[in-house]
Amino acid sequence: MIIFKNVSKRYPDGYVALNNIDLAVASGEMVFLTGHSGAGKSTLLKLIAAIERPTSGTITISGQNIAQLKLGAIPYLRRKIGFIFQDHKLLFDRNVFDNVLLPLQISSFDNKTVASRVRAALDKVGLLKKEKAMPIALSGGERQRLCIARAVVHRPNILIADEPTGNLDVEYARDIMAMFTSFNQVGVTVLIATHDASLLEDTQHRILSLKQGKLAV
């Protein structure tokens, strides 16, 4: 499903974030990506959504080479992916419902089904009762869940989460991990980057660890 071949990413200032990465994630798999901050986790995830471009190598998603994707095709790639950003990237000028609505507006879903889809997504993350609340009034954990609802509302094949439990206490973090597991159980490919070792103690899933831009096995 997701295949990296000899992928390197060097930033204009000369910093090498990823160095010759080879990896394959099967369809429907759930994979953790660990490593210290600055190890290249975020970069790797951003390459998948074509938010950044590799300096060399090929990235294939469902047979499509992302590294050579035309600018006009990138939006359609991103619609297949649900991305949970490290800094949430919520819109503070609109309520919870409208935040989750945004991906559906973008991919022009029929108006009749959008409201029920938004509510279904909010229900999955337990925010149904807060649909009218503004993001500023939400707690850190709630914002994280709102972010997840927005990432899954358009039913993507791939779910990518960058430090989804970043500043949350253990209990919240376990809740969120349980959500990802349930998405994975219905067939969504899930990639989670985290430096939180406690999350990985009892996991059955594959763990990839990045060290200074290289995969350590």
Partner 1 sequence: MIRAWLMQHGFVFFITLKRLISTPVTSLLSIIVMGIALSLPAGIYVLMENLQSISGQTASSPQMSLFLKLDAQKEDIARIKQQLEENPQVVSFQFVPKDVALRQLQQSNGLDDITASLIRNPLPDAFIVHTLKDTAETLEQLRVAMQQWPAIEHVQFDSAWVERLHALLKLGRFVVLMLATLLSIAIIAIMFNTIRLQILTKQDEIEISKLIGATDSFIRRPFLYFGAVQGLAGGVTAWSIIAFTIETINAELIEIVQLYNFDLHLQHLSPEDSISLLLFSAWLGWLGARLSVASHLWQIEPR
Cβ contacts of residue 186 below 8 Å, gap of 6+? none
CA distance 142 to 197: 22
Q: Find the shortest distance in angstroms from Cβ 113 to partner 1.
A: 10
In angstroms, how far is the first alpha carbon of the chain from the final one? 20
E strands, 129-188, in order: 158-162
Residue 116 in contact with partner 1, rule: CB under 8 A: no
Query: In the 3-class helix/strand/coil scheme, how is 23-78 assigned residue by residue?
Result: EEECCCCEEEEECCCCCCHHHHHHHHCCCCCCCEEEEEECCEEHHHCCHHHHHHHH
Residue whose CB is less far from partner 1, 63 or 72? 72
| Binding segment toward partner 1, per CB under 8 A, in 2-10, 30-38, 45-53, 190-198 | 45-53
Residue 89 in contact with partner 1, rule: CB under 8 A: yes
| One of 21, 33, 61, 83 touching partner 1 (CB under 8 A) | 83
Instruction: Name the nearest CA neighbour of 177 among 145, 155, 150.
Output: 145
Residue 15 in contact with partner 1, rule: CB under 8 A: no
| One of 63, 72, 178, 204 touching partner 1 (CB under 8 A) | 72
Residue 102 in contact with partner 1, rule: CB under 8 A: yes
| One of 106, 115, 137, 207 touching partner 1 (CB under 8 A) | 106
CA distance 39 to 51: 18
CA distance 179 to 188: 12
Residue 97 in contact with partner 1, rule: CB under 8 A: no
Residue 108 in contact with partner 1, rule: CB under 8 A: yes
Residue 103 in contact with partner 1, rule: CB under 8 A: yes
| Binding positions for partner 1, rule: CB under 8 A | 49, 51-52, 72, 75-79, 83, 85, 89, 91-93, 102-103, 105-111, 150
